[in-house]
Amino acid sequence: MCDLGHMFNGPNTKGGYGKYWPRKTPWIHLVQDDDGKIVPEMKTLFEAFPDRFVIGTDVAHTPLLKHYEYRIAIFRVLLAQLTANTARKIGYENAEALFAKPGRAR
């Protein structure tokens, strides 16, 4: 599974992995460009493996709550560019499956 927390990018994004923070490395790959458009190779990856990604908001760090609405808006821009099935899986179904109580029917 890959948590997409802090991987988003958009017109008001100042930092985070979406801007190669804290530094550019071979292990950080852009997901969206500065306008929020999904990088083509990432879109291909999302569509090929829709069960492997979840939305992450990083709100465990209280100061980041002030950016919560912006983060959700950018994730919605991302999800709108995917097929309905992939968007649904990444948007909520994968998280539901990951955090489901053992033995609970889905």
- Output the six-digit token pair for 60: 């465990």
| 36 Rama class: left (phi>0) / alpha (psi -120 to 50) / beta | left
Q: What is the pTM of this model?
A: 0.82
C-alpha 71/C-alpha 19 separation (Å) is 14
Q: What is the pLDDT of residues 55-97, one digit of tens each?
A: 987 777 677 788 788 888 889 999 999 999 999 999 999 999 9
Q: Can you read off the two tokens belonging to residue 95?
A: 């998280």
List strand residue ranges (DSSP E) for the chain, in order. Answer: 2-3, 53-54
- The answer to whether the CB of 89 falls within 8 A of the CB of 46 is no
pLDDT bucket at 16, cuts 50 / 70 / 90: confident
